[in-house]
Amino acid sequence: MPAYIARRLLWMVAVLVAVTFITFIIFYLLPAVEPAALRAGKTPSPALLAHIRQTLGLQRPWYDQYLHFLDRLLFHLDLGYSYQYDISVRSALAERLPATISLTLGAALLWLAGALALGTLAALRRHSLLDRLVGALTLLGISAPVYWLALLALFLFADVTGKLHLLPGAGSYVPISEEPLQWLESLVLPWLVLAISLGAFYARLLRANLTEVLAEPYIRTARAKGISQAQVLLRHALRPALTPFLTAAGMDIALLLGGAILTETAFNIPGIGRLLYEAVLNGDLPMIQGTVLVGAIFIVVMNAIVDLLYVWLDPRVRLA
């Protein structure tokens, strides 16, 4: 076990370093970006630019810059300074991360619960009216782009700009520390939209997997032994069916934590997804590095967690 963990950790670190390296290469080679111009504001003269370039260390060769970045990251936990705004990448991320986390975790709760309930019911009552209804709705859910659903939701329910003034619209997000009630209200529509879009997929996934598991011989044996439907479900059927479900969910949550760009854009939520998007458009390399790294960390950590869950859930699996 300890050997496995050690190997796993090492591999995780290696992947993260590789990710930063590749990010650096891709965005360093971005055509014709002038990072110094971003920092210099709107009125740079050539001399001012040269001055800033030197301060930022931009005249050094690329491998030098990259090593400098790694050094700062590993030994000082310093992600550098944004080219665009005069703030450290770390503080920018810290400021924006709570919004993305609020969005993701809230939506995740909704979609997992919903998918679990609907998927299970559909699998148990296959070919019934309920099953068909769930099937149709989830099909729509996976076919509609999430930003279109967002627009629809805003069109119908948004406060100032919608038809029924029920909930705050785009751009109304505030941190929970500022105004808890508005924080909650502003997230209801984004949560619902994300939950519908993702929950649809997971409901279908669970239904398919559960159906397969329920057809297994050992389930029939259990039922023949007289174990109740509920027991069968909980003890024997759900666990293996949940494995791919949770694997995928883990990945999705990690991806969303790394920035739900489309949803954040549609609802104007100041999260790290938008941060990354703006950074990419502006060639703000330190910010890009920081956000991608955060995203990659979430993925790598989530992968590890999911693997452990895998072992616990499905007794047939052993740690490699």
Nearer to other proteins, 201 or 223 (CB): 201
Q: Checking phi first, is residue 144 left (phi over 0); if not, alpha (psi -120 to 50) or beta?
A: beta
Of residues 178 through 237, those in contact with other proteins by CB under 8 A are: 194, 197-198, 204-205, 208
CA distances in angstroms from 259 to 51, 102, 143, 222, listed in the order given: 34, 11, 21, 44
Among 8, 277, 301, 314, binds other proteins (CB under 8 A): 277
Among 93, 112, 118, 170, binds other proteins (CB under 8 A): 170
Span of 60-68, 116-124, 214-222, 266-274 interacting with other proteins by CB under 8 A:
266-274
What are 81's strand-pairing partners?
Answer: 88
Beta carbon of residue 182, minimum distance to other proteins (angstroms, whole number)? 13
Of residues 4 through 23, those in contact with other proteins by CB under 8 A are: 15, 18-19, 22-23
Residue 91 in contact with other proteins, rule: CB under 8 A = no
Tokens of 236: 């024997």
Among 98, 121, 147, 188, binds other proteins (CB under 8 A): 147
What are 167's strand-pairing partners?
Answer: 158
Among 60, 265, 301, 310, binds other proteins (CB under 8 A): 265
- Residue 142: Cβ within 10 Å count: 15
Nearer to other proteins, 36 or 238 (CB): 36
Among 2, 46, 61, 217, binds other proteins (CB under 8 A): 46
Q: Applying CB under 8 A, what is the total number of residues that bind other proteins?
A: 86
CA dihedral 108, 114, 120, 123 (to 10 degrees): -110
96/290 Cα distance (integer angstroms): 12
195/125 Cα distance (integer angstroms): 23
Nearer to other proteins, 122 or 261 (CB): 261
Residue 26 in contact with other proteins, rule: CB under 8 A = yes
Instruction: Find all residues with CB under 8 Å of 320, minimum gap 6, and list them.
Output: 4
Nearer to other proteins, 82 or 120 (CB): 82
